Structure 1
Amino acid sequence: MLRQFHKMHGLGNDFVILDAREEPLAITEALARQIADRREGIGCDQLILLEPSATADLRMRIFNADGSEVQSCGNATRCVVKLTGAATIETAGGLLSGAAHGSEVEVTLVEPRFEWDAIPLAYPLPTDPMPMGWENLDRPYIVNVGNPHAVFFVDDLDDTDVEGIGPGIETDPVFPERINVNVAQVEGNALRLQTFERGAGLTRACGTGACATAVAAIRARLVTSPVTVHMAGGSLSIAWAPGEPVRMRGSATHVFKGTIDLQ
């Protein structure tokens, strides 16, 4: 079965996008893993499946490189807006909206949640910050921006082995649905960030991670909105005020399109 796909990336966070709005397509964990494999498949951090929606221009489903399905992805949202022109996108993490602005795309995510059972945590704990630690990282700010994030602030990001410590935090039993791990350093009214994504590992950029980190930093009065978040793949501008959804603005790049035999 031959299907067309698009390869896109947001600041190096890369995606394979399959459009199933007119012709349905079933994605299994095994198939998602095969497509995402960088040696034997196309290769990507996440596989994106576009489907019809009764409440928005389209529905976006997100599969991590390990085959697990997750609720939201900010970088993928910008790519889908650029690819399709969709103004509203239904996701498992909520209704998102977006629009192109020249070479950049701005998307509006959901209003952040901070309650322990909205993350979710395994049992009631403060989330602002959470009184726990792992190795040299402790007291993370916990926030759900459509998917769950733990945000650690450090004095020296270069002195933190995010890739080494990330898996243990991601899979800690206190996070029953696993967690995305963000480690950030404040630089003036900007943030430098590394994110270990659940199901994908260390990525060059994470849109929802940038949003969650900016929200945590604004709440902690470390920065003011809007804030620039610098990652290995590039930078995003994040704007947020309490009681409002998060707005994220940055680039989205179409790399190529092709055809894959899903058999």
Structure 2
Amino acid sequence: MNLRFTKMHGLGNDFMVIDGISQSLPETGVPFSADEIRRLGDRHFGVGFDQLLIVQPARSADADFRYRILNADGSEVSQCGNGARCFARFVRDHGLTDKAEIVVETADGQMTLTVTDDEQVTVDMGAPRWAPEAIPLIAKGEQDTYFLVAGNNAYEVGAVGLGNPHCTLLVENVDTAPVDTVGPLLESHEQFPERVNVAFMQIVSRNEIRLRVYERGAGETLACGSGACAAVVIGQRRGFLDQDVTVHLPGGTLQIRYTGQGGIRMTGPASHVYDGSIDVTSA
């Protein structure tokens, strides 16, 4: 079977996107095995991506599409903000909808994607979840910060659930932050039973931060939309940030707004790279 795909990115966080509506997919909805996803995600021998995104028909009448996300290591996750923006542009570019406001089902519930007049996309990421069991995080009660012991060091982090688990560390300078060493150490920390996305946040002002994120199942990416949202609400909870925050990531800039009520709103670009096709021999 020959399968068409599109390569896209949101601030350098890149995706292989597959239309599972006009193309036939296996009953599982995923055309590749975990081994094949890892091979395709390889940047030397495959297409190269952080996540594989699949567009599927909605299962409920009040949604437009189902949105599925698989990491480059083959694991499936519930949320990806940069991917959601690419998803919105993809379904419009491919004529699957002409709506400016698109409701999608995820493994964690519904989310709304809004395409603006200047072709930016605003994503309602939902409300933050602070209770440890909702993150999930093994801890004795909800706290503003938690101390994670790893090796001979203890790390103070804020933690929140946004469909995916996130933790954020404050650093003086993201350029010299130990992302490559501390990132994987905390990503698989025993207190996070489903692993965790690890963000390193430098506060520039009450309305501006710099951020690097080590994503579970993908490693450090050029941008992480849900990680940017998590860092902002954690910074707000600790009294460091205001309602509107500009987040500078290695791949570009996002605008995050959270008033303390309703969902976190993230606005940023989504870019088409190229279209291609691949022969699928197994699933």
Do both proteins adopt the same fold according to a TM-score greater than 0.5, normalized to the shorter chain? yes
In 1: Cα distance, 2:226 partner to 2:270 partner: 15
Q: Which residue of 2 aligns with 1:100?
A: 115
Deviations 1:182-206 (A, max 9, x none): 0100001201000000000010000
Structure 1 residue 137, shift from structure 2 partner: 6.5
Partner Cα distance (1:136, 1:108) in 2: 36
Aligned residue identity for 1:96? M
Distance 1:31 1:201 in 2: 18
Per-residue Cα deviation, 1:115-169 (whole angstroms, up to 9, x for no partner): 0000112343434111335476722110011111001112222332112211110
Residue 54 of structure 1 and its aligned partner are, at CA, apart by 2.2
The residue number in structure 1 matching 2:70 is 63
Could you tell me which residue of structure 1 aligns to residue 259 of structure 2? 241
Q: How far apart, CA to CA, are the structure 1 residues paired with 2:172 and 2:58?
A: 44
Q: Distance in 1 between matches of 2:123 and 2:245?
A: 15
Which is worse superposed, 176-185 or 150-159?
150-159
**1:193 aligns to what?**
211
Alignment of 1:57-96 (within 5 A): 57-85=64-92, 87-96=102-111
Larger radius of gyration: 2
**Which residues of structure 1 form unaligned runs of 5+?**
none
> What TM-score do the two structures reach when normalised by structure 2?
0.89
**Partners of 2:140 and 2:254 in 1: how far apart?**
32
Question: Which residue in 2 is equivalent to 1:121?
Answer: 137
Aligned partners of 2:140, 2:262: CA distance in 1, in Å? 25
- Give the alignment of 1:9-158 within 5 angstroms: 9-22=9-22, 23-25=24-26, 26=30, 27-55=32-60, 56-85=63-92, 87-101=102-116, 102-134=118-150, 138-158=155-175
Cα distance, 1:21 vs. partner? Answer: 1.9
Counterpart code for 1:197: E
Across the two proteins, how many residue pairs are aligned to each other? 263
Once the 2 structures are TM-superposed, how far is the Cα of residue 34 of structure 1 from its aligned partner? Answer: 1.9
Contact kept, 8 Å, 1:88 with 1:95, in 2: the verdict is yes
Query: Displacement, 1:51?
Result: 1.1
Deviations 1:226-263 (A, max 9, x none): 10000000000001122311100001000111111122
User: Per the alignment, in what secondary structure is the counterpart of residue 155 of structure 1?
Assistant: coil
What secondary structure does 1:199 align onto?
Answer: coil
Structure 1 contact 10–78 (Cα < 8 Å) conserved: yes
Gaps in structure 2 of 5+ consecutive residues:
none
Q: Distance in 2 between matches of 1:221 and 1:45?
A: 32
Contact kept, 8 Å, 1:4 with 1:260, in 2: the verdict is: yes
For residues 133 and 234 of structure 1, the distance between their equivalents in structure 2, rounded to whole angstroms, comes to 32
CA pair 156-5 structure 1, distance change in 2 beyond 3 A = same
TM-score scaled to structure 1, two decimals?
Answer: 0.95
Q: How large is the Cα RMSD of the aligned pairs?
A: 1.5
- Please state whether the residue corresponding to 1:124 is helix, strand or coil: coil
SS in 1 for 2:146: coil
Residue 7 of structure 2 is matched in structure 1 by 7
1:63 maps to amino acid: L
Check 1:245–1:50 CA distance in 2 against 1; reply closer, same or farther (3 A cut).
Answer: same
Q: Does 1:250 align with 2:268?
A: yes
SS in 1 for 2:112: strand
Aligned mates of 2:41, 2:218 — CA distance in 1 = 10
Cα separation, partners in 2 of 1:38 and 1:159, compared to 1, 3 Å: closer
CA distance in 1 between counterparts of 2:135 and 2:67 reads 21
